[in-house]
Structure 1
Amino acid sequence: MIFKKLLTRITGSAMVATLLISTTPVAATESVINEDGRRTEMTQVQNLLQSYQGGYIESELDNNTPVYDSGISTFAELPLAFPDDASVFDTMYPQARDQNPYGTCWSFASMGLAEYDLINDGAVDKSVDFSELQLAYFAYNFVTDPLGGTVGDIAKYHNENGLSYLQRGGNFVYSSRRLAQWIGPVDESVVPYTRAAGTLDSGLDDKYAYSYSKAHLKNAYEINIHENADEVKANIMEHGAAGVMYYHNDSAMRFYSFDSAGHYTYYDTAKRGSGHAVMLVGWDDNFSKENFPESLRPENDGAWLVRNSWGTYCDYFWMSYDNESLLDTAWVFDFSDDDGLAHNYQLDGGIQVYNTNLTNRLANVFTVPNKADGEYEKLREVSLSFTRIADVGYTIDVYTNLTDPSNPLSGEKQTQATTTGNTAFAGIYSVELAEPVELKPGSTFAVVVSVDKSALDYEQATKIATGDTLLWDRQVSQGNGKSLYYSSGRYRVYPYGNFCIKAFTSDEIRHAEPENELTAKGYSVDLTTLVRANLYAAVSTDIMDDARSMVRFVYPDGTCTDRLLSAFETTEYNNTQVKKITYEAVPAKLTEKVEISVIKSDGTKSNSFAFAPADYLNDLIKTDSDSASKNIAKALLDYGAYAQLYFNVDTSDLANKELTDDAVGALSTEEILKMTVDGNIASMSNDDLEYIGSSLVCRNGTDMKLYFINKNSLALDEILQKYNIDVTNEKTGRLDSSEFSAELDGKLFCIRIKSILPKLLSTDYTITFSNSGVSSYGVVGPYSYIRRAVQGDDIQLRNLCKALYLYGRAAS
């Protein structure tokens, strides 16, 4: 696929210089004064060139980006070109914005990343328009956060001393720091770009910093585009775009429009020109090098599709993979517009960060404001910043009700909230705690972080001047006693700035609830039937008497389902009458905790109980004397873990993490082939249907789908009228209409055998098509598919199928 010029709206023949130059030379040099007194000189010519083309100031994080190696290849399915239809840029996304006449490309690219990500999430549509001016202004002019944690952090830009903040430029570091502080994004209508010139004298009202934000930055990833190009592509597919910086050299006609296809292309051989921020929104591995002018042609095919911020001029263009001035880092921003979080406890209001090297045990201490009766907060997520190191192992602990704010361990450790994990790329990560923590109004709490390498960021102060004139004052609060590090047996105040550890909370209201509405007596997981989790709960008489009482299941992603309590079986458990409350447990989500409560018809909610099926299975392995049950539980935990890895579901908390043996790793392909046979499919096809293969669908049971080419393009009704279809299991006999279905799957005809029990995974099914006394039939089973899969090249699929084989063998 080769993209045509996506949009043809060009305003006359003016060069980009006439569109973007709007300043005159000022002081000869600009300097950065660091906290240790070091002074770094930068030529003012470079800054003027930045305003000429876009205004990107190269940062330390744009080069030498840490390379992340997951150890698992996950890119076999990446297309050679993406997207496959250029019309999405008209139908799905906003048209390219116009930064003219200021050097604000960095802000335009950053807001574009926010818009594209939220569009890809389905949270907004193409009408979304975030304010680039709001981000640019508050990047340079910081406002203390609503909770007051960043008191002492100051950023004040003095436009009157030379180059304005609108022309000085910026970078993705500025954007990521401010957005992580919950400064923006806000709607364009709130702070329109047309007000930019007026802010140079009168500024913006402080209220626009935090009060109008429409989404929260959850994660910011720094991916090495030269070493992890496939990771960049995968993130473009997920988030819509990635932000990059390159040096644009227009003097040698590097931008070029040619031939009837009208491609815009860009290729250079050195870092020349001025810094410019753009968005990568696609790629084409086969984009021919012949599409570039003969006078300046790359050696290899392949190019990135770039979205620009010069309005209709060069709105989209192709940049060769060989481009020399493209810096290392591709920035990916991940936003949420509805995370339920109301407060950002933070101490780091600075815009410059470095990683700590004094300790691997760090803490931030925060105080909760007083609230009205019945109101409180829950700590749900913690944000950690590791912008210079990839693959960081971390443990987060929470201590509440501190008795000594100088000792983060002086409170009550909330063990249920302890969360461990590993980062991937360098960047900023929002980590959901294992369990939320209730915070008492007026109390002090600590977030304690242990890392496996000196990687956590802290804010650092710098001042920027032109000559001896202060241009940008960037102070940070130091030694305030709220950021602490562990050394020589105790926690000490960190002297250089505050750690980039943030705590995100939700607002809660405590409602009066009747006591003992729901009392959990026990729980279990079905092993021999479909995978189901069961809670045995005693409920009070008033609930039982309410015919409209509903059982509510709340899942970790916030979704919930309600079912009538009366629909669940009443039984006895340890001599107590209980309700057996059951829900389907998907193998890939055995570690998922589902919260169960009862809602009465008057809206009153009972106390709740949550458990993960994996917890029960691990307990069973430790305590049950029945070796058969233990074997099934182990096999199910392995199956669940490999399903997590295959479907990429919460892979930091694998279901089999407590098992000491690796049954799947010890199982050879040869053993599976020896213990199974291929299906007998030679006679399954007929005049209308040709069998081509099967697949397995992993649910709480396993569905098997058999696929046939619909040779004569018959409608489903025509097939069912022409053929009688029987499905028979070799052990249980003929299946009824509720146990299988015939359907069309696109152009293919499909027979779906539903919810195969674990003990039947090793059995075969005979499928018979009868028409006027003539029959065709075949024999196939789940193990037929497993035999093929374990001989394939997909390692994760092989392991998943090995685990499914062992699960079926243990259960049969």
Structure 2
Amino acid sequence: MKKLFVFLMSLCLFFSQLTLPEAKEKSSGEGESHYHTVDYEVSESKTKNVRFRSRNVLPKSYDARTENYITSVKNQSPFGGCWAFSAISAAETSALKNGLAADKSEIDLSELQLAYFFYHRVNDPLGNTEGDQNIIVGKNAGQPDGYLQNGGNNWYTAMSLSQWPGPVDESKAPYVNDKNNYPKFLDADLNYLNTEYAMKDAVFLPAQDTEGMKQAIITNGSVSASYASEGMGALDKYFYSGSDKADHAVTIVGYDDSISRELFGDQKPQKDGAWIVKNSWSSRAGDGGYFYLSYDQPLNSVVAYNYMAADQYDNNYFYDGSVGMQRLKTRGGSLTAANVFQAKSGSGKYPEFLEAVSVGIAGADTNYSVQVYTDLKDVSDPYSGTKALAQPVTGFEPYEGIYTIELPDKIKLSQGSHFSVVITLKNKSENSGSIFVAKSEAGSWISAEEKTAPQQSFLFDGSGWYDTHASEFCNRIKAFTELNHESLKEQARRITAVQIEKISSAIYNGKKQTPAVIVKDDTAALKEGTDYTLTYSNNINAGQASVTIKGIGNYTGTAARNFTIVPADINKLNYGSTGTKIYNGKPQYPDMRVTNAGIVLKKGTDYTLSYNNNTNAGTAAVTVTGKGNYTGRAVKHFIISRRGVNTLSTGGISNRTYTGRIIKPSVTVKYGSKTLRQNTDYTLSYGKNKNTGKATVKVTGKGNYTGTVTKSFYIVPKKTKITYARSKKSKKLTLKYKKMTGASGYQIAYRKKGTKSYKYKRTSKRSYTLSKLSGKKSYQVKVRAYKTVGKTKYYGSYSPQKTVRIR
């Protein structure tokens, strides 16, 4: 334990912390380019131009177009793929410059394939990067066109291309200038297996190193770079803004020192001279798709690419599957890093040979030294094998970047054995060493997910090796091998050399997918379990799945193939009933039960719901849109039935006084607190409501309401008038009053003045004599008419009260 503690303390003192830059998203002024700057500054070389020095004096101008090294101008619209167009254009130019393609008319590489597999990364053919991903973050996450819209960065692109995922011919993955007609999936075989060329070197040039960039353009034919395009019009032929907020990637194919600063509009640069820039806004933009960019315009993420033939090497061993610009730098002295690999190709009789290595150098003016150790006895000790090179391979690189270092001798690797690539880096002037490493990192537009493992990457502190898995990063060190091709017939016995037919796509069903793999040795079909075994991974969810074919019996080695699990069609699933809803004046959102072979789908994860015509009574629609493992749309319908008027409330219906005319009272109809509209939501019809007695009004539903309900009220007699009130006889009072039409009788209310309670008498006659009253007292009297309906009497209003003194 003490020894481990001392080692860790020594490590902390020996190495500086990891630099983990945060990506910052910018979008172009055209609204079509989405380029992201990264908080990283490339070290400036003090011995500039050593790598690219091709002549002592630079010419005043250079244009790679005149040497037929530049392919046609493309159009990235309507997507944000400037970064892919810039990188692919540089790849095409490098292939032409290096004689890999005879003529520019013969080469057209796919920008779409680069963008797709940058964000849909699959395990490499040797199976060393399972789980490493570049994940879209932010507004484009989960979107089918996210890989075309999320944008990129030149440095990150170089990190990805160093894995040889492409490029492929345009015909295999053509770009589509249509937002509604782009491919949502690409065949997995378009990644790694069908590439036309392979990236050899990617040199990261300081943006301020104008002379170095000129030399790089002359040597490589072009460089990728980014600049701030805000304020630039599509037709501008000269551009300068002075802004350093890079938001658009382009390819610089030449330069001209004589371009006058006066040509750059109202805002002029300080000096003459401009870069000749190939854009990706179509040949209608600028000057045939090109424009001049002032030397004074700040640049960002300048990369010079160098390509080789795809069959230069057979295998690329690496662990750094994700992208990023993290680097490890020593506080002082050199840095020694190593990767340990297991040889997975070849056979005992026909082995593979290590011919070159690659390293991500993260500091300027760096001396390097490479040694290889084979047949390691301890995979935790990169020094524990046989030293394969009599002398280490040494060299010098003035610029940061990703470099292929060719070995003087082919190093034989036995299948299944472990070997190490040990690289020592030291800055010539700073007395330090820097290497690019891969580590999981969360950003604002992309997150890198790096799945490290023990016994892969190591750092040496002078006394022992530290396994970087403990710090969850790995070195950007690669090994390039070639297989022995002396006997094609015998070589066919290696599983990597036999024919493995394209694996059919599978449809997501929530279960592990294990599609058949057809393996043939010439015309003879190999048998699973006898000649090979299959191991599937990432084979449940929609997307790219993989299968590892491992030779057994008469076959040896492993091969990895990918296949596609396509999302299930949402139209072919089972749907539960939504039931019938009753109109309630609000939008109705019935839930939808969706199942796939008995598996209940989860709303929000597997599908989303949207509704139409779901407020008023009638047929409503719910659209089920597939999400994640499901695709397509299914439209289902449900019924919103009309609400019965018997559930409504009515107001305004009360007894009315006889008028001699038909009475049609207004009615207030409500559903809850909402007052309904007559002739829109309901209609009214009336009975023969003229005579005294029972009257009716019928409410009939309309529109969103149905049924009828009849409400009753009563027409009561009019108020009568007392025409005669006299007390002519002792203790009696005689009354006369006006006759009321339709009245069944009259009620007389009387009381002794000063008392509270009335006494009542009823009569059907128009006059009445009250008797047994108290003499010499005053009485108050009033009369009202009534109508008898059945056993119930309905009264009109009382007449004005009269006071009479009794004899």
Q: State whether structure 2 residue 450 is matched by structure 1 residue 450.
A: no
Please give the per-residue CA displacement for 1:410-439, whole angstroms capped at 9, x wherever unaligned: 111113362111112110110011222111
2:481 matched to which residue of 1?
505
For 1:83, give the aligned amino acid: D
Please give the per-residue CA displacement for 1:268-317, whole angstroms capped at 9, x wherever unaligned: 13336x60111111111111122222x22223211111110011112100
Q: Report deviation, 1:472.
A: 4.9
Instruction: Report how many residues are paired.
Output: 452
More helix by share: 1
Q: Report deviation, 1:246.
A: 0.4
- Which runs of 5 or more structure 2 residues have no equivalent in the other structure? 1-16, 427-431, 489-807
1:267 matched to which residue of 2?
240
1:589 matched to which residue of 2?
none
Please give the per-residue CA displacement for 1:566-589, whole angstroms capped at 9, x wherever unaligned: xxxxxxxxxxxxxxxxxxxxxxxx
Q: Report deviation, 1:233.
A: 1.1
Contact (CA 8 Å) 1:139, 1:351: kept in 2 or not? Answer: no
> Are the structure 2 counterparts of residues 510 and 491 from structure 1 closer, same or farther at C-alpha, using a change threshold of 3 Å?
farther
2:452 matched to which residue of 1?
478
Contact (CA 8 Å) 2:22, 2:38: kept in 1 or not? Answer: no
Q: Which among 227, 237, 241 is matched to residue 218 of structure 2?
A: 237
Could you say what the CA RMSD is over the residues aligned between the two structures, in angstroms? 3.0
Contact (CA 8 Å) 2:76, 2:177: kept in 1 or not? Answer: no
Q: State whether structure 2 residue 251 is matched by structure 1 residue 279.
A: yes
Map 1:350-369 onto structure 2 (within 5 A). Answer: 350-357=322-329, 360-369=335-344
Map 1:268-417 onto structure 2 (within 5 A). Answer: 268-271=241-244, 275-293=247-265, 295-312=266-283, 313-314=285-286, 315-323=289-297, 325-327=298-300, 329-337=301-309, 340-357=312-329, 360-369=335-344, 371-372=346-347, 374-386=349-361, 388-416=362-390
> Are the structure 2 counterparts of residues 160 and 417 from structure 1 closer, same or farther at C-alpha, using a change threshold of 3 Å?
same
Give 3-state SS (helix, strand or coil) of 1:463's partner: coil
Map 1:387-786 onto structure 2 (within 5 A). Answer: 388-416=362-390, 418-452=392-426, 453-464=432-443, 472-487=446-461, 489-494=463-468, 495-509=471-485
Distance 1:70 1:198 in 2: 48
Q: Report deviation, 1:403.
A: 1.3
Distance 2:57 2:433 in 1: 35
Q: Report deviation, 1:478.
A: 2.7
Q: Which among 188, 196, 212 is matched to residue 206 of structure 1?
A: 188
1:183 matched to which residue of 2?
165
Contact (CA 8 Å) 1:133, 1:196: kept in 2 or not? Answer: no
Distance 2:485 2:142 in 1: 50
Please give the per-residue CA displacement for 1:540-596, whole angstroms capped at 9, x wherever unaligned: xxxxxxxxxxxxxxxxxxxxxxxxxxxxxxxxxxxxxxxxxxxxxxxxxxxxxxxxx
Contact (CA 8 Å) 1:256, 1:265: kept in 2 or not? Answer: no
Please give the per-residue CA displacement for 1:74-126, whole angstroms capped at 9, x wherever unaligned: 75331101139x655xx553211110111100100000000011111122121
Q: State whether structure 2 residue 123 is matched by structure 1 residue 144.
A: yes
Distance 1:244 1:36 in 2: 26
For 1:57, give the aligned amino acid: H
1:101 matched to which residue of 2?
78
> Are the structure 2 counterparts of residues 370 and 146 from structure 1 closer, same or farther at C-alpha, using a change threshold of 3 Å?
closer
Distance 2:345 2:183 in 1: 38
Distance 1:448 1:333 in 2: 25
> Are the structure 2 counterparts of residues 425 and 67 from structure 1 closer, same or farther at C-alpha, using a change threshold of 3 Å?
same
Distance 1:479 1:161 in 2: 28
> Are the structure 2 counterparts of residues 200 and 48 from structure 1 closer, same or farther at C-alpha, using a change threshold of 3 Å?
farther
1:561 matched to which residue of 2?
none
- Which runs of 5 or more structure 1 residues have no equivalent in the other structure? 1-34, 258-263, 466-470, 513-812
Contact (CA 8 Å) 1:379, 1:438: kept in 2 or not? Answer: yes
Give 3-state SS (helix, strand or coil) of 1:79's partner: coil
Q: Which among 122, 127, 133 is matched to residue 154 of structure 1?
A: 133
More strand by share: 2
Q: Report deviation, 1:370.
A: 5.5
For 1:450, give the aligned amino acid: T
Identity, % of aligned positions? 29
Give 3-state SS (helix, strand or coil) of 1:382's partner: strand
> Are the structure 2 counterparts of residues 161 and 70 from structure 1 closer, same or farther at C-alpha, using a change threshold of 3 Å?
closer
Give 3-state SS (helix, strand or coil) of 2:269's partner: coil
Structure 1 length as normaliser, TM-score?
A: 0.52
Give 3-state SS (helix, strand or coil) of 1:218's partner: strand
Q: Which among 57, 63, 71 is matched to residue 83 of structure 1?
A: 63
For 1:335, give the aligned amino acid: Y
Q: Report deviation, 1:509.
A: 4.4
2:227 matched to which residue of 1?
246
2:89 matched to which residue of 1?
112
Q: Report deviation, 1:157.
A: 3.5
> Are the structure 2 counterparts of residues 391 and 39 from structure 1 closer, same or farther at C-alpha, using a change threshold of 3 Å?
closer
Contact (CA 8 Å) 1:348, 1:500: kept in 2 or not? Answer: yes
Distance 1:188 1:156 in 2: 25
> Are the structure 2 counterparts of residues 79 and 485 from structure 1 closer, same or farther at C-alpha, using a change threshold of 3 Å?
same
Q: Report deviation, 1:39.
A: 10
Please give the per-residue CA displacement for 1:17-38, whole angstroms capped at 9, x wherever unaligned: xxxxxxxxxxxxxxxxxx9999
Give 3-state SS (helix, strand or coil) of 2:390's partner: helix
Q: State whether structure 2 residue 206 is matched by structure 1 residue 224.
A: yes
Q: Report deviation, 1:196.
A: 8.1
Contact (CA 8 Å) 1:382, 1:501: kept in 2 or not? Answer: yes
> Are the structure 2 counterparts of residues 275 and 476 from structure 1 closer, same or farther at C-alpha, using a change threshold of 3 Å?
same
Distance 1:130 1:196 in 2: 19
Please give the per-residue CA displacement for 1:508-539, whole angstroms capped at 9, x wherever unaligned: 14679xxxxxxxxxxxxxxxxxxxxxxxxxxx
Please give the per-residue CA displacement for 1:441-473, whole angstroms capped at 9, x wherever unaligned: 1111111112223311110112346xxxxx755
> Are the structure 2 counterparts of residues 54 and 417 from structure 1 closer, same or farther at C-alpha, using a change threshold of 3 Å?
farther
> Are the structure 2 counterparts of residues 306 and 49 from structure 1 closer, same or farther at C-alpha, using a change threshold of 3 Å?
closer
Map 1:30-49 onto structure 2 (within 5 A). Answer: 47-49=26-28
Give 3-state SS (helix, strand or coil) of 1:433's partner: strand
Q: Report deviation, 1:224.
A: 1.9
> Are the structure 2 counterparts of residues 51 and 443 from structure 1 closer, same or farther at C-alpha, using a change threshold of 3 Å?
farther
For 1:290, give the aligned amino acid: E
Distance 1:411 1:69 in 2: 37
Give 3-state SS (helix, strand or coil) of 2:211's partner: helix
Distance 2:38 2:141 in 1: 25
Structure 1 segments, 4+ long, off by >6 Å, are 35-39, 71-74, 198-201
> Are the structure 2 counterparts of residues 83 and 381 from structure 1 closer, same or farther at C-alpha, using a change threshold of 3 Å?
same
Q: Report deviation, 1:65.
A: 4.2
Distance 2:259 2:177 in 1: 41
1:172 matched to which residue of 2?
154
